[in-house]
């Protein structure tokens, strides 16, 4: 029997329009994710929400030679959930990238996400959020590698597209790994 969980990836102010590392149209994921979250909550299936939770001197920041402007610094408004995101009661928050010297695009990297999913008997995960070509992709690939049946939510992801086509390549990579696209 499938035992499902929803994994909402990094729907934080800094990744939405106006934020320090805004994903184009990033806030468009919120309405579909709210619907997914409500559906899961109604079925009593668990909901997880990952967040970038960086110290001020994080290795991914340009000040340390990384690729990104400072973003999602712990305790700042930029690191907060977008105000329109409706996380159901009981949502499990997974903080990642909280070590100054380690980057973590995947929600599984350096966190207890896998253990928490296993404890709940989850074997099937649904992943959406920001951004398609970084944290969603890496979370999806890690879920597949760990043996979860993995769906990515095509209506609830948006991409950075540093290079044109990055989103399409990310989707192709997720599908080639065995993840399945699903629309709401
Ligand atoms: Zn980050």
**pLDDT tens profile 80-124:** 999 999 999 999 999 999 999 999 999 999 999 999 999 999 999
CATH number at residue 160: 3.40.50.850
CA of 133 to the centre of ligand 1 (A): 13
Active site residue 96: yes
CA of 2 to the centre of ligand 1 (A): 32
Catalytic pick among 10, 27, 52, 142? 10
**Residues with a beta carbon under 5 angstroms from ion ligand 1:** 52
CA of 97 to the centre of ligand 1 (A): 7
**pLDDT value at position 173?**
98
**pLDDT value at position 111?**
98
Active site residue 10: yes
CA of 44 to the centre of ligand 1 (A): 30
- Reported pTM: 0.97
For range 39-58, the mean pLDDT: 98
CA of 43 to the centre of ligand 1 (A): 32
Number of folded domains that form the chain: 1
Dump pLDDT digits (tens) for 125-175.
999 999 999 999 999 999 999 999 999 999 999 999 999 999 999 999 999
Tokens 């409706």, residue?
Answer: 86
CA of 1 to the centre of ligand 1 (A): 35
16's tokens: 């939405």
For range 43-56, the mean pLDDT: 98
Range of the domain at 147: 4-182
Catalytic pick among 135, 137, 142, 157? 135
């Amino acid at each position: 029997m499938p035992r499902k969980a929803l994994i909402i990836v990094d729907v934080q102010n800094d990744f939405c329009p106006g934020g320090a590392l805004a994903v184009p149209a990033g806030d468009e994921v919120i309405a579909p994710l709210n619907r997914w979250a409500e559906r899961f909550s109604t079925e009593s299936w668990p909901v997880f929400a990952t967040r970038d939770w960086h110290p001020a001197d994080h290795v991914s920041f340009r000040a340390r030679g990384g690729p990104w402007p400072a973003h999602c610094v712990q305790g700042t408004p930029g690191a907060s959930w977008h105000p329109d995101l409706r996380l159901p009661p009981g949502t499990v928050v997974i903080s990642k990238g909280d070590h100054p010297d380690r980057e973590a695009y995947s929600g599984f990297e350096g966190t207890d996400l896998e253990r928490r999913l296993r404890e709940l008997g989850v074997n099937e995960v649904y992943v959406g959020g920001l951004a398609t070509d970084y944290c969603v992709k890496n979370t999806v690939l890690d879920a597949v590698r760990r043996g979860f049946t993995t769906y990515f939510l095509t209506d609830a992801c948006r991409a950075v597209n540093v290079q044109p086509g990055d989103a399409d390549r990310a989707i192709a990579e997720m599908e080639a790994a065995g993840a399945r696209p699903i629309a709401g």
